[in-house]
Amino acid sequence: MAQDPDDSPETRLARLVLALRSQGVSDAKVLQALEATPRQMFTPDLFQERAFEDSALPIACGQTISQPFIVGLMTQALKIEPRARVLEIGTGSGYQTAILSRLARLVYTVERYRTLLAEAESRFKALGLTNVITRFGDGGLGWPEQAPFDRIMVTAAAPNEPTALLAQLKPNGILVAPVGRGPVQILRRYCGDGKGGFVVEDLGEVRFVPLLDGVAREL
Ligand code: SAH
């Protein structure tokens, strides 16, 4: 039987994006970026049926692809301007990276698993995302050679205030990161005050995998 046109990936994605909008993702550019990014391409075969659910899903190496609502919320919180250079820590599937790449001039992304990074790179290529620059390494240290950044997004939970990353932010830059050691963390936004200090806001509770020290020994 032919597939019901209402169940095409595009329709399912559009429905998901509408739901995110009703939950408070209101920035039109962020909604457009979500709608332009086929989440099924970032979702493992085993979970294809769930690619358009608003939930985090397992990926290789015991990691996760983030929940779409949280991706929308964090991207919106970053207030990306078109000329921005953005650093992302924790490439994972590359889903969040792809969304950032549609809003920023350049996205630098760091991952500590080689296999995840290689898979993400092939997705960026398939999607024609040419403004993403990847690095295998410990993202907790940032990317000093490319600093300072206009925006920084951390997609793994920092156990403490991410001071090394804050030091790589421009004076008026913005950093968004989950901060905390437990299974539930607080999503924090740090806005540079232009004088070396930060205005810090709590944006709610989130659940991320931890930001770990060093690179992974496994693939
Ligand atoms: N944004 C991703 C979320 C991936 S989960 C997505 O949407 O798919 C978080 C990722 O952070 C994992 O892939 C994990 O390996 C990575 N990570 C954890 N600690 C890290 C570190 N110190 N440096 C770089 N990446 C790290």
If you take atom 20 of ligand 1, which residue's CA is the nearest one?
211
If you take atom 26 of ligand 1, which residue's CA is the nearest one?
90
Residue 71 in domain: yes
Catalytic residue numbers read 66
pLDDT band at residue 31, thresholds of 50, 70 and 90? very high
Residue 44 in domain: yes
pLDDT band at residue 7, thresholds of 50, 70 and 90? confident
Residue 47 in domain: yes
Query: Which atom of ligand 1 is the closest one to the Cα of 92?
Result: 13
Which range marks the domain in which residue 152 is found?
5-206
What's the pLDDT at 140?
A: 97
* Residue 116 beta carbon below 6 angstroms from any ligand 1 atom: yes
What's the pLDDT at 1?
A: 43
Distance between CA atoms of residues 11 and 201, nearest Å: 35
Question: Mean pLDDT, the chain, as a whole number?
Answer: 96
Residue 187 in domain: yes
* Residue 32 beta carbon below 6 angstroms from any ligand 1 atom: no
Residue 73 in domain: yes
Three-state secondary structure call for residue 66:
coil
How confident is the model over 95-122, as a mean pLDDT?
98
pLDDT in tens, 93-105: 999 999 999 999 9
Query: String of b and e for 71-94 (b: at least 16 CB within 10 Å)?
Result: bbbbbbbbbbeeebbbbbbbbbbb
**What proportion of the chain, given as a percentage, has pLDDT over 90?**
95
pLDDT in tens, 38-72: 999 999 999 999 999 999 999 999 999 999 999 99
What's the pLDDT at 4?
A: 58
Distance between CA atoms of residues 181 and 177, nearest Å: 13
Distances 99 to 55, 75, 167, 200, 212 between C-alpha atoms, Å: 17, 8, 25, 24, 24
Overall number of domains in the chain: 1
Picking from 211, 83, 201, 38, the residue whose alpha carbon sits closest to that of residue 139 is 211
Three-state secondary structure call for residue 192:
strand
* Residue 64 beta carbon below 6 angstroms from any ligand 1 atom: yes
Three-state secondary structure call for residue 185:
strand
Residue 216 in domain: no
Does residue 2 register a pLDDT over 60? no
Query: Which atom of ligand 1 is the closest one to the Cα of 61?
Result: 15
Query: Which atom of ligand 1 is the closest one to the Cα of 216?
Result: 15
How confident is the model over 184-203, as a mean pLDDT?
97
Residue 82 in domain: yes
Q: What is the CATH number of the domain that holds 102?
A: 3.40.50.150
Residue 179 in domain: yes
> Which of residues 62 and 2 earns the better pLDDT score?
62
Residue that the structure tokens 């810090």 belong to: 200
